[in-house]
Amino acid sequence: MTRPTRLLITNAHLLHPEDGTRTDRGWIEAADGRIAATGTGRPPAAAEGVRVLDAAGATVLPGLIDAHVHLLVTTLDLAAVANWTPGYLTVRALAEAERMLRRGFTTVRDVGGADHGMARALDEGLALGPRLIFGGKALSQTGGHGDLRPLGDDSVPCCESRPDFGRIADGVDAVRAAARDEFRKGAAHLKVLLSGGVASPHDEIAAVQYSEEEIRAAVEEAENHNRYVTVHAYHPRAIDRALRAGVRCVEHGNLLDDANIGLLLEKDAFLVPTLVAYAQTAGLGAGSGLPPSSLGKLAEVRDQGLAALERAHRAGVNLVYGSDLLGPLHPAQLEEFTLRAEVQPPADVLRSATTTAARLLGMAGEIGTLAPGAHADLLVVDGDPLDDLTVLTRPGRHLKHVIKAGAVV
Ligand code: ZN
Ligand code: ZN
């Protein structure tokens, strides 16, 4: 990655997600990692030391944001992970981070697994990857979505220092302590697992996890730290309990009902559907390494996800892009665009991966926009994504440059 202090991109159509417009040919200038100015028509004369990039009529848009990733989960084979050291886990995670950046994601929000060490390595340029907004380990009750112990394992969960997707905390005091510990380690948000999940072997999708008191304790701790809680939830009961307790963001939400949609609107909360995860996992079938119970649960949520997204979209819910792909499925990270395009116009799908995602992350005006002052995280693509989202989903053909903080990757 080269690091010029100033970059001028000329001959480019500028795509503004805010209003879903694409300008006539223009230019965009970055200085010290930020967007300095934009305009149409003739570009300003480039001063000495400014790198000029002729986009030759391509489109410049803000770098994409994926708000639901698990960098640390680089395999579906839990038995294999048991033999891996923390160092090996981390190196594998950072290798995936670089691939995400090269797909066009300049910011990712990790909702289970990534830690401050990974974020620091990326910040310091020791590894190449997106801006990493991490939440540390997800909180799970015993027997919940984050409790992956086999049934023969009666050991008491321990060893919170090992990199992992989640940690177990039962009871209000333990939830508070775990939340405080994750915030101590720099978590930008707290992920709490409130219903059964596909990958966990021993819980039901329709099961509600955690009591109301425990959820309220997590929300209170997050608010004390000026952070927020986001929850893994499929079922209306779990979503309802979460939103009433003050949770700001719901992940998945495949089975949500109209009352849930009403509450999402009333609370101005966010929904992060992750349709591509189910489509891709179903494609793996029996050879996936997932337990047989997972494949049955997959069918339960997969078919209803798109209809849930469509209803939420029509109602005007804050929708944010998420992929939730694990292990070998990561290469499909852009395919969530394809699925959403079935029920949403391209401009709306783009906002979910730019402006709306930035708002969820508390970074409105900082990322996901071409507005002056924002980080110069940019994509240069051949074609018009507002007309055809495959411009984004086929980076090999269309993605000419990824620019992070003003530096061409
Ligand atoms: Zn989840
Ligand atoms: Zn997830």
pLDDT for the residue 159: 57
Distance separating alpha carbons of residues 198 and 217, to the nearest angstrom: 26
Tell me, what amino acid is at 392? Answer: L
Which ligand has the nearest atom to the CA of 70?
2
- Name the residue with higher pLDDT: 61 or 303: 61
The residue-averaged pLDDT of 109-130 equals 97
Ligand in closest contact with the CA of 200: 1
Ligand 2 center–CA 69 separation, angstroms: 6
What confidence score (pLDDT) does residue 77 get? 84
pLDDT band at 5 (very low <50, low <70, confident <90, very high): confident
With a CB cutoff of 8 Å and minimum separation 6, the contacts of 85 are: none
Q: Tell me how far apart the alpha carbons of residues 130 and 119 are, in angstroms, rounded to a whole number.
A: 9
138-140 vs 105-110, strand pairing mode? unpaired
Across 216-250, b (16+ Cβ under 10 Å) vs e yields bbbbbbbeebebbbbbbbbbbbbbbbbbebbbbbb
Ligand positioned closest to the Cα atom of 209: 1
Q: What is the third-level CATH fold of 64-360?
A: TIM Barrel (3.20.20)
Which ligand neighbours the alpha carbon of 112 most closely? 2
Is pLDDT of 161 > 80? no
**pTM, full prediction:** 0.96
How many whole angstroms separate alpha carbon 60 and alpha carbon 221? Answer: 40
Ligand 1 center–CA 233 separation, angstroms: 7
- Closest to 296 (Cα-Cα) out of 314, 310, 281: 281
251 Cα to the center of ligand 1, angstroms:
6
Distance 277 CA to ligand 1 centre (A): 10
Q: How far is the CA of 40 from the centre of ligand 2 (A)?
A: 41
Regarding the domain delimited by 6-63+369-408, which CATH topology (the fold level of the hierarchy) does it fall under?
Answer: Urease, subunit C; domain 1 (2.30.40)
Distance 49 CA to ligand 1 centre (A): 47
pLDDT of residue 147: 87
Please give the pLDDT value at position 291.
74
Query: Do 6-63+369-408 and 64-360 come out as alike in CATH topology?
Result: no
The stretch 51-60 carries a mean pLDDT of: 97
What confidence tier does 153 reach under pLDDT thresholds 50, 70, 90? confident
Average of per-residue pLDDT values in the chain: 94
The number of the ligand nearest the C-alpha atom of 277 reads 2
Distance, CA 114 to ligand 1 centroid (Å)?
15
Ligand 1 mean position, distance from CA 155 (Å): 24
How close is the Cα of 5 to the center of ligand 2, in Å? 37
User: pLDDT digits over 331-384, tens only?
Assistant: 999 999 999 999 999 999 999 999 999 999 999 999 999 999 999 999 999 999
Instruction: Compute, in angstroms, the gap from residue 71 CA to the centroid of ligand 1.
Output: 14
Cβ-contact 113, 96 below 8 angstroms: no
Ligand 1 centroid–CA 232 distance in Å is 4
pLDDT computed for residue 403 by the predictor: 98
Percentage of the chain modeled with pLDDT above 90: 81
Question: What digits encode the pLDDT tens for the residues 243-293?
Answer: 999 999 999 999 999 999 999 999 999 999 999 999 998 888 666 667 777
pLDDT of 299 reads 80
Could you tell me the distance, in angstroms and rounded to a whole number, from the CA of residue 197 to the centre of ligand 1?
Answer: 6
- Taking ligand 1, which is a single-atom ion, which protein residues have CB atoms under 5 Å away? 232
Q: State the ligand closest to the CA atom of 197.
A: 1
| Ligand 2 center–CA 177 separation, angstroms | 23
Nearest-Å Rg of the Cα atoms of the chain is 21
Cα of 324 to ligand 2 centre, how many Å? 5
pLDDT at 288: 67
Q: How far is CA 163 from the centre of its chain?
A: 19
CA of 380 to the centre of ligand 2 (A): 29
Domain ranges of the chain: 6-63+369-408, 64-360
The arithmetic mean of pLDDT across residues 193-211, rounded, is 88
pLDDT digits (tens, 9 = 90+) for 267-279: 999 999 999 999 9
